[in-house]
Amino acid sequence: MSAQITQTTSFIGGRHVPSLLTYANIDPATGGQLGDIARAGADEVDRAVQAAAKAQREWKRSSPEQRSRLLIATAAVITANRDDLARIESEDTGKPLTQAYADVDVCARYFEFYGHTIESYYGHAIPLAEDMHVYTRREPFGVTGHIVAWNYPLQLIGRAAATSLATGNCAVAKPADETPRSTVRLAELIHSVGFPAGAFNVVTGLGAEAGAALSAHPGVAHLGFVGSTQTGSAIARAAADRVVPTVLELGGKSANIVFPDADIEAAIPSLVRSIIQNAGQTCSAGSRLIVHRDIHAEVVEKMAAAMAQVTIGYGLEDPMLGPLISAKQHERVDGFLSEVGSGQIVTGGTRPDGLADDLAAGAFITPTIVDSVDPASRIAQEEVFGPVVVTLPFADDDEAVALANGTDYGLVSALWTQNISRAHRLAAEVDAGQIFVNTYGAGGGVELPFGGFKKSGYGREKSIEALDEYTQTKTVAIKL
């Protein structure tokens, strides 16, 4: 169905809604045009919110069994369309095809996980007194709004949609300007399995127009946002003006902390993956390498050697590293690399050699190590969002923790050590929402609560905890 649509349109109330205004969908690998995207605005957002509100009047009365059945059916239809979804995701984002397939699989897993979980999610009885019967109910908010980033479109909207629908809400999604196609296709699939028309709606367009209208709409009772801290602050202000709860997943400057007793040979592949995954355009990318002075030179040398073996190219050809999302993002990364200060670029930082002629205009950059940077420098403090890792040497555990906690962010960190006592002690001291030991990331981590400390945001997505974010507690007390 989607393949015949030259204009990627909004999907509202179970139907495609084209717009008179459009903008170009740019292929990040070639700089060419993939098609047109409907540039929806406030009118389409209002129509989508009304469609969701109408559907929610029916959906909130559905049983957990009904929700479970449709969520699991959605997982199955996502899997059945795996090839199509992965191709769209790879084309729009530029990511290698293997990574796009993984995103499709994780998206399906969200619907499967919450489809199974929702049947065992309920309130509690509270033993207040013998002549009182007190219990709590978990009730939906109503219409939830979701504005997500361009780096993992299917994963980000999949986890939001599955959680919202599982808990009896209905949703309106605004995908990123650059990557709307897979979200629109997902809306088609959700509708196809039997959800009420309007249960899940998608409004395509620009963040400053459609996104702003969604965040300010009085009919939206709950907001979720994934993206930059700056935009997240604006979303939070819009929500605060209407006293609406919000879940924010924002930036990160995550650290891999490598101690002298680490198994370096085992660590190197994971350290490299943590920064080249999705071309480093990941909020939880391992963008800071904090290494003990005794092994610093060895780790940097082996990291550089491993990065030199990374294959680069068009996402559908499945290299290890694809392009950045856009020429604009490429310029941003170049800007950081022009300000390394006392740091030294050990490897990378340039356009790759040997690319095919049709990729000459693509947003490619080689994986990069900037060694021994000033911890206070911009490149050590701010999110680059590219395959760029900076190294910071340390002398002892206290200095390692101070460096790890020395940014405004706190999303993910990893400890590489064979000392289990150190691992437990420092896991408690490092400020991050997830701490890994001798590994990095969790392959989607659907079952694991995910969210940040400090300016990495608040609220938790994934896991059973996300169900609490999308419901409100009602207490009922009855005098017997």
Q: Across the 480 residues of the chain, what is the mean pLDDT of every consecutive 10-residue run?
A: 67 96 96 95 98 98 97 98 98 97 97 97 94 96 98 97 98 97 98 98 97 97 96 94 96 97 98 97 97 98 98 96 96 96 95 91 97 97 97 98 98 97 98 96 85 96 96 97
71 in Cβ contact with 118 (< 8 Å): yes
Which residue in 152, 123, 121 sits closest to 135, CA to CA? 123
Query: What residue has token string 């030991």?
Result: 437
Which residue's entry shows tokens 């680069």? Answer: 312
Chosen CATH of 255-445 out of 3.40.50.1980, 3.40.309.10, 3.60.150.10, 3.40.50.300: 3.40.309.10
Do 380 and 388 meet the contact criterion of CB atoms below 8 Å apart? no
Burial class (CB within 10 angstroms; exposed 0-12, middle 13-18, buried 19+) of 453: middle
Residue 3, C-beta contacts closer than 8 angstroms, at least 6 positions apart: 84
Range list for CATH 3.40.605.10 in the chain: 2-250+458-479
Q: Which CATH architecture has domain 2-250+458-479?
A: 3-Layer(aba) Sandwich (3.40)
CA of 179: how far to CAs of 5, 103, 172, 274, in Å?
15, 14, 16, 22
pLDDT at res. 441: 86
- 317 flagged as catalytic: no
Give residue-wise pLDDT tens across range 125-134.
999 999 999 9
- Angstrom distances, CA of residue 197 to CA of 69, 352, 353: 17, 47, 50
What's the CA gap between 216 and 172, in Å, rounded?
Answer: 13
For CATH 3.40.309.10, the residue range(s) in the chain are 255-445
- Nearest alpha carbon to residue 85 among 148, 179, 193: 179
pLDDT (0 to 100) of residue 254? 97
Annotate 145-156 with DSSP letters as a single string. Answer: EEE--SSSHHHH
Residue whose C-alpha is closest to residue 352's, from 344, 362, 343: 362
The dihedral built from the CA positions of residue 151, 155, 160 and 161, taken in this order, carries a sign that is positive
pLDDT value, residue 117: 97
Tokens of 336: 């950081």
Instruction: Kindly report the number of other CB atoms within 10 A of residue 345's CB atom.
Output: 14
Which phi and psi (to 5°) does residue 325 adopt? -65, -25
The rounded distance, in Å, linking the Cα atoms of 155 and 277 is 14
Q: Which of 89, 249, 383, 461 is catalytic?
A: 249
- Measured CA to CA in angstroms, residue 229 lies from 54, 214, 248 at distances of 33, 18, 9
* DSSP sequence for 72-97: HHHHHHHHHTHHHHHHHHHHHH---H
Nearest to 146 by CA among 172, 176, 170, 183: 172
DSSP β-bridge partners for residue 146: 173, 224
Angstrom distances, CA of residue 115 to CA of 69, 122, 194, 470: 7, 14, 14, 15
pLDDT tens column, 28-46: 999 999 999 999 999 999 9
Are residues 462 and 450 in contact, defined by beta-carbon separation less than 8 angstroms?
Answer: yes
Predicted local distance difference test score (pLDDT) of residue 443: 63
> Is 323 within 8 Å of 360 (Cβ atoms)?
no
> What totals of helices (H) and strands (E) does the chain contain, helices first?
15, 23
pLDDT of residue 2: 41
Contact between 58 and 196 (Cβ < 8 Å) = yes
> CA triplet 95, 151, 346: central angle to 5 degrees?
70
- CB of 459 closer than 8 Å to CB of 469: yes
């945001």: which residue's tokens?
457
